[in-house]
Amino acid sequence: MSAYLDRIELTRTLPCLAEPGKVQIVGTPSRSLAEVIPYLATLPGIVRYNPETVSLTFRRRPGFLTLLADKVTLTQVTDPVEGAAMLENLTAAINATWEQRAELAAVTRSARTLRPLDLYSLLPQTNCGECGEATCMAFAAKLFMQERSPAECLPLFSDPGFEERRITLESMTA
Ligand code: SF4
């Protein structure tokens, strides 16, 4: 039986704004992850799963792993070498999950074990006030309560350096 996935190629490395000195990485899978993500959603450590948008975020210690159909992002990675090894391990884990899918029940309901601090960790943390809140923590609390949306944090959208954080934040709050 052939493996689900050949590889996840490391396609981008960005400075990790949550932890200076570390990087966030973006991987591109050799095949869409859409079919396997509902089975990966049976694994522990899920922060947010949305079957409609096929987006799945796991909490790492530290950071997050987000899987979309066409993209994988990892925050707070030591360096690109560690990132490439993590993508290799992730490919193996995805293939193992796919092989065991007959014993798993694909998850079709959304899941959320989010904490306000998870959201805060992905905001710029500059307390610039552009969103109308006094602090990023206040904005994170309102994001958590679903009273605000990531799009209302303008720096997240205007600074390309925040792109991967924005994608993770949007998948968590969608
Ligand atoms: S606009 Fe964004 S960076 Fe500025 S205070 Fe609000 S949440 Fe923080």
Average pLDDT of the chain, as a whole number: 92
Distance (angstroms) between ligand 1 centre and the Cα of 123 equals 7
Under a CB-based contact definition with an 8 Å cutoff, are residues 105 and 118 in contact? no
Q: Is 143 in the pocket of ligand 1 (CB under 6 A)?
A: no
Per-residue confidence at 114, pLDDT binned at 50, 70, 90? confident
Ligand 1: centre distance to CA 94 (Å): 35
Distance CA 9, CA 27 (A): 5
Ligand 1 centre and the CA of 156: distance in Å? 8
Pair 38, 95 in one domain:
yes
CA count, 13 A, side-chain hemisphere, 78: 6
Q: How far is the CA of 168 from the centre of ligand 1 (A)?
A: 16
Q: Has residue 174 got a pLDDT over 80?
A: no
Q: Does the pLDDT at position 42 exceed 70?
A: yes
Q: What is the mean pLDDT of residues 116-133?
A: 93
Q: Are 45 and 67 in contact (CB under 8 A)?
A: no
Could you tell me the CATH number of the domain that includes residue 101?
A: 3.30.310
**155 Cβ closer than 6 Å to some ligand 1 atom:** yes
Task: Dihedral sign for Cα 6, 112, 23, 86, please.
Answer: negative
**Within-domain flag for 66:** yes
- Residue identified by tokens 């039986």 is 1
Q: Is 124 in the pocket of ligand 1 (CB under 6 A)?
A: yes
Task: Name the closest-CA residue to atom 8, ligand 1.
Answer: 136
Structure tokens at 122: 């992905």
Give the Cα separation of 88 and 105 in Å (integer): 25
- Average pLDDT score over residue span 3-22: 87
How many structural domains comprise the chain?
2
Are 38 and 70 within one domain?
yes
CATH code at 130?
A: 1.10.15.40
For residue 126 the two structure tokens come to 């500059």
> What's the rounded mean pLDDT across residues 96-102?
96
Most confident of 22-26, 107-111, 130-134: 130-134
Task: Tell me which residue range forms the domain holding 130.
Answer: 114-173
Task: Please say if the pLDDT value at position 142 is more than 90.
Answer: yes
pTM of the model: 0.85
pLDDT tens digits for 65-97?
Answer: 999 999 999 988 999 999 999 999 999 999 999
